[in-house]
């Protein structure tokens, strides 16, 4: 699918076909959504699908997770007319931060940070990232928000895989993702 084409029938998730498979090996995610972000209608429809379950919900701020979550998170924040907060990999913020160690989808140990002055007790935050595979990265973001007294209003990602971590998140938080039920098993098997 080229970057200008919009199909006549736009079923939920039509834009998933824009994503490209990994050609670089096991240290990378199995699917790359950056091509979807280059497609104006695809990006708009993706964000609309992610936000649809939260219509009418009180959301004070959108937080995007480093780095691809910045794209969807900022787009969601702009659509909702809310503030945007970047949750970063440790070492990138030059202000007072709170840190949280975690293990990412590839099994690497990492540390995430967030500025301490952006989240006040009771602030309702929609967490956005491109993908939940094992759930480690999203769980670390949840912990940061909650440790600062914020409330996780929901989790929105292109895909939440049926993993132990993905199920943990879905059991505890309102979630939205873009993968239609009939395609979910293929995404879970990385096909």
Percent of the chain topping pLDDT 90 = 77
The pLDDT tens digits of the residues spanning 18-39 come to 998 888 887 777 888 888 999 9
Domain residue extents for the chain:
56-180
Going from the C-alpha of 38 to that of each of 2, 7, 73, 143, the distances in angstroms are: 10, 16, 15, 31
User: What phi and psi, each to the nearest 5 degrees, are found at residue 52?
Assistant: -50, -45
Range of weakest confidence among 27-41, 71-85, 147-161, 171-185: 27-41
Residues 93, 77: Cα–Cα separation, whole Å: 21
Q: What is the reported pLDDT for 99? A: 97
In degrees rounded to 5, what are phi and psi of residue 12? -55, 130
| Average pLDDT of the chain to the nearest whole number | 93
Nearest Cα neighbor of 63 from 141, 178, 169, 177 is 141
The phi and psi torsions of 101 (rounded to 5 degrees) equal -75, 155
pLDDT score at 10: 75
CATH of 56-180, one of 1.10.260.40, 3.20.20.70, 3.40.50.150, 3.40.50.2020: 3.40.50.2020
- Round to whole Å and give the CA distance between 55 and 92: 33
11 contact partners, CB below 8 Å, separation of at least 6: 180
**What is the spatial distance between Cα 60 and Cα 126, in angstroms, rounded to a whole number?**
8
**pLDDT score recorded for residue 141:** 98
Please give the C-alpha separations between residue 45 and each of 36, 111, 135, 142, in angstroms, as whole numbers. Answer: 10, 32, 24, 26
Residue 1 reports pLDDT greater than 60: no
């Amino acid at each position: 699918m080229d970057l200008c084409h919009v199909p006549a029938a736009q079923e939920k998730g039509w834009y998933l076909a824009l994503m490209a498979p990994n050609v670089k090996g096991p240290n990378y995610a199995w699917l790359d959504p950056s091509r979807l972000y280059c497609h104006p209608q695809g990006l708009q429809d993706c964000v609309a699908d992610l936000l649809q379950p939260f219509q009418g919900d009180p959301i004070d701020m959108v937080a995007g997770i480093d780095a691809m979550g910045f794209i969807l998170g900022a787009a969601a924040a702009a659509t909702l007319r809310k503030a945007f907060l970047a949750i970063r990999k440790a070492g990138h913020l030059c202000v007072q931060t709170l840190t949280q160690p975690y293990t990412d989808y590839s099994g690497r140990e990492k540390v995430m940070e967030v500025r301490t002055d952006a989240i006040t007790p009771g602030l309702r935050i929609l967490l956005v990232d491109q993908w939940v595979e094992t759930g480690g990265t999203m769980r670390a973001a949840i912990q940061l928000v909650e440790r600062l007294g914020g409330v996780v209003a929901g989790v929105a990602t292109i895909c939440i895989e049926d993993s132990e971590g993905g199920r943990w998140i879905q059991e505890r938080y309102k979630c939205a993702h873009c993968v239609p039920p009939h395609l979910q098993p293929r995404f879970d098997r990385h096909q």
